Amino acid sequence: MDILQKCEDYTLHREIRNLDLYPYYRGISSPQEPVVTMNGQKVIMLGSNNYLGLTNHDEVKEAAVAALRKYGTGCAGSRLLNGTLDIHIELEERLKSFMRAESVLTFSTGFQVNLGVLSCLLGRHDVALLDAMDHASIIDGVRLGFGKSLKYKHNDMQDLEAKLSRVAENRGKLIVVDGVFSMEGDLANLPEIVRLKNEYDSRLFVDDAHGVGVFGESGRGTAEHFGVEDEVDLVMGTFSKSLATVGGFIAASSPVIDYIRHHARSGIFSAAMPPAAAASAIKAIDIIEAEPQRRKQLWETTQYMKRELEGLGFDTGTSESPVIPIAVGDDIATFTLCKRLQEEGVFVNPIVTPAVPPGQAMIRTSYMATHNREHLDQALTALKKVGRQLDVI
């Protein structure tokens, strides 16, 4: 059998293209601002994770340019060997202070954090307990390890407890959960998870990619939001959302970080993050701390859009974050809605299987602190028009 035959047999993308509904790899020729340029058209961006609006901030860009001039374009090696620059160390110290963590280690991407950390921590006698809607990087990181995994129903604490009760006492247990679920926009029930963690002698890993910068009085994420920072053993974050660049980090106790530093293959065998990215993240943290009004504006926008979308009749599920889904159901209807909205000048993301269960396709909208009311109302007008045309509302 030809190993490449599966590539010939995969036809879904061609079928969607033939319907003129293909929604992926769309070219954008401008920064990630509230309005972007696509094929010469100005489009309101409701699909970016640039929550605090920092990716095109002048100070962030200037910090990146300065680092580019000082260090060049890359590190030409892994952090373990020749690729650690003093700016990487500075970033980790800055993150330690910001996250109030004992120790922090950075990786080249957020995906690599989960791959490396989870695979190296989960040994043959360990069990990972995963929310059914955990991010793909969590699933893959656990698969790469030698431990066993158990999934519990999404945000179902009774099911989590049932799974925990099945794990033998002599096995290591790690609950791994998204702080903010990236498709649904709802939050993990961290207070109850912490209670169960303590009752069943487990450890807790929170992927806060969509929480850092957004949640908590100081922007430290969902653990700060719920007041359980001291109970979370590992916090993962990315730089590709609120922190305006690319990369990721893990925050934990010093012994845990030292172990990860010397065992996480995705860090040991990958080139270090570019110095310009490290400088951008440092400056983004500075701005987050100096300008809390950005987070306040983001939440005002989020609350306004959720209220208005629901008022129009859209089903926004259980979202509690700047990620607000719009339930559609059918995959083709979702692709059609996405295309029609772009024609009306609004960029959204179509989410279909396998990212969500069959029959639960949705449009994923997300918001920035830099959206103004004119942007939002223009988008709402388009959403109302297209939603009615396609019988979504």
Active-site positions read 182, 210, 241
Task: Give the separation between CA 50 and CA 373, rounded to whole angstroms.
Answer: 17
**DSSP strand pairing (148-152 vs 126-131):** parallel
Nearest to 47 by CA among 317, 379, 336, 315: 379
Measured at the CA of 99, the angle between CA 95 and CA 104, to 5 degrees, comes to 50
CA distance 95 to 89: 10
Smallest CA-to-CA distance from 104 within 247, 281, 234, 266 is with 234
Q: Are 329 and 363 in contact (CB under 8 A)?
A: no
Candidates 291, 315, 295, 308; CA nearest to 373 is: 308
The answer to whether the CB of 295 falls within 8 A of the CB of 225 is no
Closest CA relative to residue 369, chosen from 326, 322, 308: 322
* Dist CA 209 CA 349 (whole Å): 18
**What is the SS3 assignment for 223?**
helix
Tokens found for residue 292: 């809390």
Tokens 């992926």 correspond to what residue?
24
Rounded distance between C-alpha atoms, residue 170 and residue 184, angstroms: 35
Query: 149: helix, coil or strand?
Result: strand
Task: Please give the Cα distance from 114 to 128 (Å, whole number).
Answer: 13
Q: Is 62 helix (H, G, I), strand (E, B) or coil?
A: helix
What's the first-to-final CA gap in the chain, in angstroms?
48
Residue 23: left if φ>0, alpha if ψ -120 to 50, beta else—which one?
alpha
Q: Which residue has the tokens 């209670």?
A: 195
